[in-house]
Each structure stands twice: as structure tokens, then as C-alpha cells.
Chain A
């Protein structure tokens, strides 16, 4: 997605986190969480663009999966992945992600409560990447809906050259 879209989503998520814990988190802390979220969003984009395959990020935050899809026949070229700081990325630690996981799961539970069905958050990025966020327990159903065959889920093996 475009950087402005990332900023928007990250800000929303941080707002959500603040209200979840009912505290007035200091501006500094909020910025920190927002920055980490931005890094994470950039990182998954970069991975998806490099792989150029449908990607499932299992438990990107605890309890929550993310799928990124692209249309291989799309006319508009997908934006080139920008450089990100991998060292800062490793600072996106477990507590931060756990907190985000809680917030997202709560939001999922509360949102469109009247529909009361299993659902997926869908977001179409301005650069042609499509994002699907959902609870990890729906993984099997989502994959079926997307046409991934039974043995079609391939685990990424580092160094196998799969990401070329």
C-alpha cells in the first residue's frame, strides 16, 4: 500500500490500542508503537513484492493472519518496494505485537456485530496489493475461498531461492 495509507492505518490502530487499555498513553509511546506498525507494514509489503506470489503471514500478530494478493495480469505495475531498515524492524518485539493482536481481535469482535458471521477485513492498496486480515482460526476457510488447494500452502524455506 502507499505510505499515506500505511500512516492512516497505523494511526487508527494506535488510537484503538489507547482506548483498549483506557489509558492516556503518552505521545512518545504512541509514536513508538505507530513507528513499529509502519515498519511491519512496510516489511510485509516488501516481502510480498519480492516473492511476487500469494503470501500468507501466519499469526503476524498473535491470533491474526494476513494475506497479501496481487493480480499477476494487472496492467498497472505494482510499486517497487522501498528500502527499509531491517535493524529497526527487529525491534518490533513480542509485547508490541501481542498488544496489537489484542486490539485487532477486539476490533474484529466488535465490528459489524449484527452480521455475526465470520468475516475478513479487506483493503485494496493504492499500488495494487490487496490485503486480507482475519482471525487465525478462519484460516482454513479463507484459503478454501481463495482457491488454495489442500497441499497448496507452502512454507517459506530460507535460502531455498523461493523468494526470487
Chain B
């Protein structure tokens, strides 16, 4: 094997293109440039793994960031404040569900951080389910409220909360949230089911009223309309009259009630609202592509 006089002279190529070097000279090149592995090792990555490898890079970076935070908190008491503030910052502003899930696990015992976490709309269903499964967190009203009002909360999680909570404020939050989500989504997401459950609650009017706008089940709406008196439950009837899923014959009955004028005088207006809803439904039937502004 001939030893070249100077590898510099052999560095042919104008630097803009890869130069073609015979195999026998590679050894010289790497030694000359100090590129050889100092421990004789090289990391092998299958080409196909490159894209998945980079995803892992990000995940590891996230974990590292949080581990540093946690070890800071464990080590120095005076660093505690700063580390906590940083954790809160992540809890409030992070948009990565994985990061939030990791944070939830690491800061399970830090109530302040959790209270911020539950309000983050980027929380994944997995994290939500984790939080509702923790018995000691069920008693923390701020956490439960934070979840109940979270716009990204899943219907399954709502169902779980309904099962265990006895807090009327949490229920109210869920009813309100579920009604809004049900109105926003067209498909059979679980929110309409949740609303159905809550609307049929008989011991709390405020609660059932909050859920009625989200009910999509015609039978439930009919039974609600029939079981409530025009005098004592007028505001509930009003909500039923505004719901486009209420069956037409119920709406017509409301619209044609003989007491409509007298009711209007005392401020009970479900007849008018029922008529309005009927008109809008007719409009939609004629032009199904038009946007229904209900």
C-alpha cells in the first residue's frame, strides 16, 4: 500500500462535490483529520429507523427537561420556588399531550401544578382518565372543576366523573360543558348521552336545564315536555322549545297553546320560541345545505 505524501494534496474535488476515495486511503484520511472513534466504537442505526429515531429524540428531550426539574425540586429547598414556577409554566403553556402526561405523573403530589394542568386544553384522554382515577384528587374541588370546564374533556371522562362526584358545582360544570360540546359536534359523540343523563335529573332544576340544549334524543325531549307544567316549569319548556331535536308535534303543541297570549303577558314565551324553531326546521328541510343558525 503506498503511503501518500500528503493527504492534503490528495483531497481532490473542489469541496462542492463528494470526492471519490479508494478504500485503502480511508484509514489515512480519518487519522489525518482526527475522525476515528477514540474508543473503537461506532453507533449503528438502520436507515429505516431515522425518522422514528428523531421522534424518540424529542420524547427524550421532553423527559430530560422534566427530570431536571424534578431533581432540582428534590435537591434544594431554595430552588423549590423557581422549579415550581417553571413547572407551572409548562403546565399552563405546553401544547404536547405526551409532555403533559409525563408532567402529571411526575407531579402527582403537587396540587398546584395539577390544578394548572387540568385546565390545559391539550390534555390527552389518557391523562384525563388517569387524573379521575386518583381517589385523593376526587375530593379536590379545584381540580374537578378544572377538568369539568376543560374544553377538551372527553365524554368517557365526563361519564366517570358523573359516577363518583357529589359536588353540585362540578356537575353543573359538566352539564354546561357537555351541552356546548354536543351542540358543536354533529356526530353521535358521547356528549349528547351525557346531556341526556343529566337532563333527566329531577332533584335539581338548574342542573337539568343546563343540559337540555345538548340533548339530541327526541323521546327524552318529548317526555320532558309532557312531564313539566306550563306554570311551574316554563323556563324548562322554553329550553325544550329552542332545541331543534324536539319532535315537531311537541313543538306544535307548544306553539298552539291557547294560553299563549296570557303567558306572554307574564313573560312566559315558549310558544313563540317553539314557533321560531318550527320555522327554522322547515327552512332547513327545504334547503338542507343551508347553515342552520340554531
Enumerate chain A interface residues (CB-CB to B < 8 A).
5, 8-9, 12, 40, 43-44, 46-47, 50-51, 53-61, 66-67, 69-74, 84, 86, 89-90, 92, 97, 111-112, 115, 117-124, 130-134, 138, 141-143, 145-149, 152-156, 158-159, 161-164
Contacts and interface: CB of A to CB of B under 8 A. Distances in A.
B43 A51 contact: yes
Interface of B: 13, 15-24, 26-27, 29-31, 33-58, 60, 64
Contacts of B55: 86
A74 B34 contact: yes
Contacts of A164: 60, 64
24 contacts: A47-B45, A47-B53, A47-B54, A55-B42, A57-B45, A58-B46, A61-B47, A74-B34, A86-B55, A115-B22, A117-B23, A120-B20, A120-B21, A121-B20, A122-B13, A123-B19, A141-B23, A145-B23, A145-B26, A145-B27, A148-B41, A155-B45, A156-B43, A158-B56
A30 B79 CA distance: 54
Contacts of B47: 57-61, 66, 97
Nearest to B41: A152
Contacts of A152: 37, 39-42
Given A120-B21, A156-B45, 11 more contacts: A46-B57, A59-B48, A73-B34, A90-B52, A121-B21, A146-B26, A154-B41, A156-B44, A158-B53, A159-B56, A162-B43
Given A118-B23, A141-B23, A146-B26, A131 B42 contact: no
